Chain A
Amino acid sequence: MNFGNLDLHTTWFILIGVLFTGYAMLDGFDLGVGALHLFTKEDQERRTMLNAIGPVWDGNEVWLVTGGGALFAAFPNVYAAVFSGFYLAFVLLLVALIFRAVAIEFRSKQPMRWWRQMWDVGFAGGSILSSLLIGVAMGNIAWGIPIDARGEYAGTFLGLLRPYPLLLGVTTVALFMMHGAIYALMKTDGALHDKLRGWINNCIIFFIICYAVTTMATLLYVPHMAARMRANPWLFSIALLNMLAIANIPREIHHGRDWRAFVSSCVAMVALMGLFGLEMYPNLILSNPDPANSLTIHNAASSEKTLGIMLTIALTGVPLVLAYTVSIYWIFRGKVKLDRMSY
């Protein structure tokens, strides 16, 4: 396909943002359900939680796989620098993702108490650790990481665990927990539903505190982000949308409109990711302390030709993916009922 004089670099910056936002919105809720998993005590409740995400978690994780593949294809220099630079962090992320994936599949296959508890811990631990590490990675990207003249990461593993990225990690766990709790609310009924309704306020409060601290820390300690906001006052409208969406969540929950609360939570994520992207653009990786070495949508990209081919692939594939993903969510709508096929 010929895309004329379309700015393919910016298009792919947006598309990768869309893929990772899709990942946050979708896998976010099943990671959140995982983070809440150990709070439920009875076996029946835990199975209900697992089966709430049962048919969809796998497809949700594909957003990460495809996002990673798209990053590899569109901006190979970023993929190479981040994945080799964050080596140990990403290995830990893989371990966490492996454990939660197989825990979902294995847990209910045997009746023994120790067996189920072992995989329950694997599922919850894996979910919390993945959320935390994803947040830490985002925090490092926002803060900027040392990049040398070759475009390689010049820091250490411990260098990734500074306060600001860790704060963003905790905020991500809180965000996913809230998101997951709302999703679980939509998928359950009876005693578990009432229990979740009690927890959800704590989740919201936990998230709002984290969110407020992160926002302040960003404005105070991440000067390039604050400067971008001051230079482009219209960005405040997105921040405002984000705040309104977050504020709307407890309101909808209070009125028992769980579906709308979920949509609000999704809107908040889109606004957060949008704001993040707009503040980074055109950088993909900001080099801190030496901004001259930053990896941008221009110096880190594949050739125009490849970006064009990839856009053709995306325009063919994504509508199909969206169509059947929506259909599958529709088929599995409604409250979870445990049966022979359940986990």
Chain B
Amino acid sequence: MDVLTLSRIQFAATISFHYIYPPLSIGLGVMLVIFEALWLQTKNPLYHQLARFWTRVFALTFAIGVATGIVMEFEFGTNWATYSRYVGDVFGSALAAEGIFAFFLESGFLAILLFGWDKVGRKLHFFATCMVCLGAHFSAIWIVVANSWMQTPAGFHIVGEGLKARAEITNFWEMVFNPSSMDRLFHTLCGAWQAGAFLVVSVSAWYLLKKRHLEFARASLRVGLVVGMIASLLQLVSGHESAQGVARNQPAKLAAFEGLYETTTNAPLTLFGWVDEKNERVTGLAMPGLLSWLAYGDAKQRVTGLREFKPEDRPPVAWSFLFFHGMVAIGFGMILVSALGFLDFWRGSLFDKRWMLWLLVLTVLGPQLANQAGWFAAEVGRQPWIVQGLMRTPDGLSAVVKANTVLASLILFTLIYFLLFAVFVYLLNDKIQHGPDDADLTPSGKLALPERRQS
């Protein structure tokens, strides 16, 4: 294999593995804030126990997220040096802002969140939890801004020619609020909230099935289901807005998502199906006019098809279609399952419905798979560009890196990440089997002091 293929595989593999964890940090961060707020409000030690248990799970995901995150920052330079030179002026500043505003905040207050329970008062601890959660959200903001700039570049101009050409910022805020960044940020965050909420739902449902820690599991499930359902519904809104943005800004990508070859009014939306790229045909169940209506709010609108683009400017259609449709299908599935689960919970019949509980146990996979599929759709759909319309992916490679070097690092990362994943699953399972700590029902140290004496 050549350097290009290997570098692309390596980036895809390392970012996919990394992206298991940040959504959990963001989503569990929100859950921790809620649990701790409930504890402060109700003074019910059960919520203290909840916060403590989920903090331990949070710590585990956070550590791997940090360790695999540094790899990403390095890889822009190691494998994509020409790209880095080209975009450094724009992309680099977003990355540096991420370090200063997000990572310091997150990791600094993490110390208090994890180790400060007995050392600081309730309010300060709650503040630290909020800051960790905020830091996690900030990290999403800056990296999504940077990636969105690659999808819909704005606020820049090109200086120099040939190998010396590069993008330079002309307007920082136009760069930050480029046409796709806010929609995609909202979409990414909803996905992260789902990831955190449904991990909580899944573990709680499992305890209920096994008739363990019942009181803990009920409280945990209630909060998880509410957050998960709200996030799933918001995801519908954010997904719709993102897709409309793609229709406006990246028509080739939208056409690939939907396997639309012919430019047409009343464009159909394929609900289920597959793409035959060779014969440029889509087989499956389609609703006429729905794509036009979804993309532009009017079934009569014209949607651009792939034939408008030269073959070398088209994304890989079958893959884009598959990832996009996979994501959408899971997204609707999550809404359905969380709504059914919530309905049963509300009626009080959930705890006897074992099949429903089993379904809830499985929901942890939904957001994870949809997040992966969504990012694959976003990145594969942008091809053949590394920066939409400006630089093609092969032109971004490092000039001095050889194929066998990348092969060596790819093998190394693959082995290490398999090991890490195995250990992660083992330890997570261990924590879940161990369950909440009864000692956490009695807050100790400064937390145990009556409210009045808090500083």
**A interface vs B, CB < 8 Å?**
54-56, 58-59, 61-62, 64-66, 68-70, 72-77, 79-85, 87-88, 90-91, 94-95, 97-99, 101-102, 104-106, 109-110, 150-154, 157, 302-303, 305-306, 309-310, 313-314, 317-318, 321, 324-325, 328, 331-332, 339-342
Q: Name the interface residues of B87-112: CB closer than 8 Å to any CB of A.
A: 87-93, 95-101, 103-105, 107-112
Tell me if B169 and A69 are in contact (CB < 8 A).
no
**B interface vs A, CB < 8 Å?**
59-60, 63-64, 66-71, 73-74, 76-79, 81-82, 84-85, 87-93, 95-101, 103-105, 107-112, 114-120, 131, 159, 163, 166, 168-170, 172, 398-401, 405, 408-409, 412-413, 416, 420, 423, 427, 430, 437, 439
Tell me if A302 and B168 are in contact (CB < 8 A).
yes
The one of B64, B66, B100, B400 in contact with A85, judged by C-beta atoms closer than 8 angstroms, is B400
Closest to A340 in B: B439
- A-B CB contact pairs (8 Å), 29 listed: A55-B112, A55-B116, A58-B110, A59-B107, A61-B107, A62-B103, A69-B95, A69-B96, A70-B96, A72-B76, A72-B77, A72-B88, A75-B88, A76-B88, A79-B88, A84-B398, A84-B400, A87-B405, A91-B408, A102-B64, A302-B89, A306-B89, A309-B169, A310-B96, A321-B105, A324-B104, A324-B109, A331-B112, A339-B118
Given contacts A79-B84, A79-B92, whether A321 and B108 have CB atoms under 8 Å apart is: yes
Tell me if B81 and A83 are in contact (CB < 8 A).
yes
Given contacts A97-B67, A302-B89, A306-B93, whether A69 and B101 have CB atoms under 8 Å apart is: no
The one of B91, B116, B172, B405 in contact with A309, judged by C-beta atoms closer than 8 angstroms, is B172
Closest to A323 in B: B108
A163 to B412, CA, bound (A): 27
Nearest CB on B from A84, distance (A): 4
Q: Which residues of B contact A324 (CB under 8 A)?
A: 104-105, 108-109, 131
Given contacts A87-B409, A101-B63, A313-B96, whether A306 and B168 have CB atoms under 8 Å apart is: yes
Q: Which residues of A contact B168 (CB under 8 A)?
A: 302-303, 305-306
Closest to A322 in B: B104
Closest to A109 in B: B427
Nearest CB on A from B404, distance (A): 11
Tell me if B399 and A150 are in contact (CB < 8 A).
yes
Given contacts A90-B74, A152-B400, whether A98 and B430 have CB atoms under 8 Å apart is: no
Tell me if B119 and A332 are in contact (CB < 8 A).
yes
Tell me if A109 and B430 are in contact (CB < 8 A).
yes
The one of B92, B98, B111, B439 in contact with A76, judged by C-beta atoms closer than 8 angstroms, is B92
Tell me if B172 and A88 are in contact (CB < 8 A).
no
Tell me if A328 and B112 are in contact (CB < 8 A).
yes
Nearest CB on A from B118, distance (A): 7
Q: Which residues of A contact B166 (CB under 8 A)?
A: 76
Tell me if B108 and A69 are in contact (CB < 8 A).
no
Given contacts A321-B108, A332-B115, whether A68 and B74 have CB atoms under 8 Å apart is: yes
B contact face: mostly helix, strand, loop, or mixed: helix
A70 to B101, CA, bound (A): 13
Nearest CB on B from A255, distance (A): 30
Given contacts A72-B77, A152-B400, whether A328 and B109 have CB atoms under 8 Å apart is: yes
Closest to A324 in B: B108
Closest to A79 in B: B77
Kindly count the residue-residue contacts between A and B in the assembled complex, taking CB atoms under 8 Å apart: 228
Closest to B55 in A: A341
What are the 3 A-B residue pairs with the smallest beta carbon separation, nearest first? A76-B88, A83-B77, A73-B92
Q: Which residues of A contact B159 (CB under 8 A)?
A: 303
Query: Other CB < 8 Å A-B pairs besides A55-B111, A98-B67, 19 of them?
Result: A62-B99, A66-B104, A72-B95, A73-B95, A77-B85, A77-B88, A79-B77, A79-B88, A83-B84, A94-B70, A109-B430, A150-B163, A302-B89, A306-B90, A313-B96, A314-B100, A331-B120, A341-B114, A341-B118
Given contacts A58-B111, A309-B172, whether A76 and B104 have CB atoms under 8 Å apart is: no
Tell me if B108 and A325 are in contact (CB < 8 A).
yes
A318 to B96, CA, bound (A): 12
The one of A64, A95, A152, A342 in contact with B416, judged by C-beta atoms closer than 8 angstroms, is A95
Q: Which residues of B contact A153 (CB under 8 A)?
A: 400
Q: Which residues of B contact A331 (CB under 8 A)?
A: 111-112, 116, 119-120
Q: Which residues of B contact A91 (CB under 8 A)?
A: 78, 408-409, 412-413
The one of A81, A109, A341 in contact with B115, judged by C-beta atoms closer than 8 angstroms, is A341
The one of B59, B81, B100 in contact with A318, judged by C-beta atoms closer than 8 angstroms, is B100
Q: Which residues of B contact A339 (CB under 8 A)?
A: 118
The one of A66, A151, A321, A325 in contact with B96, judged by C-beta atoms closer than 8 angstroms, is A66
Tell me if A55 and B114 are in contact (CB < 8 A).
yes
Tell me if A74 and B84 are in contact (CB < 8 A).
no
Nearest CB on A from B254, distance (A): 31
A332 to B66, CA, bound (A): 22
The one of B66, B73, B76, B120 in contact with A101, judged by C-beta atoms closer than 8 angstroms, is B66
Tell me if A69 and B73 are in contact (CB < 8 A).
yes
Tell me if A305 and B169 are in contact (CB < 8 A).
yes
Q: Which residues of A contact B77 (CB under 8 A)?
A: 68, 72, 79-80, 82-84, 90
Nearest CB on A from B303, distance (A): 38
Q: Which residues of A contact B118 (CB under 8 A)?
A: 339, 341
Closest to B445 in A: A339
A59 to B104, CA, bound (A): 6
A318 to B88, CA, bound (A): 21
Given contacts A72-B92, A84-B399, whether A306 and B111 have CB atoms under 8 Å apart is: no
Q: Which residues of A contact B427 (CB under 8 A)?
A: 106, 109-110
Q: Which residues of A contact B105 (CB under 8 A)?
A: 321, 324
Tell me if A59 and B111 are in contact (CB < 8 A).
yes
Tell me if B430 and A110 are in contact (CB < 8 A).
yes
A62 to B114, CA, bound (A): 17
A90 to B71, CA, bound (A): 9
Closest to A119 in B: B423
The one of B68, B108, B114 in contact with A98, judged by C-beta atoms closer than 8 angstroms, is B68
Q: Which residues of B contact A342 (CB under 8 A)?
A: 115
Closest to B103 in A: A62
Closest to A105 in B: B63
**B76, B103, B108, B166 interface centre (most CB from chain A within 10 Å):** B108
Given contacts A58-B66, A102-B420, whether A88 and B115 have CB atoms under 8 Å apart is: no
Q: Which residues of A contact B63 (CB under 8 A)?
A: 58, 101-102, 104-106
**A59, A76, A105 interface centre (most CB from chain B within 10 Å):** A76
Given contacts A74-B92, A83-B74, whether A61 and B66 have CB atoms under 8 Å apart is: yes
Tell me if B59 and A56 are in contact (CB < 8 A).
no
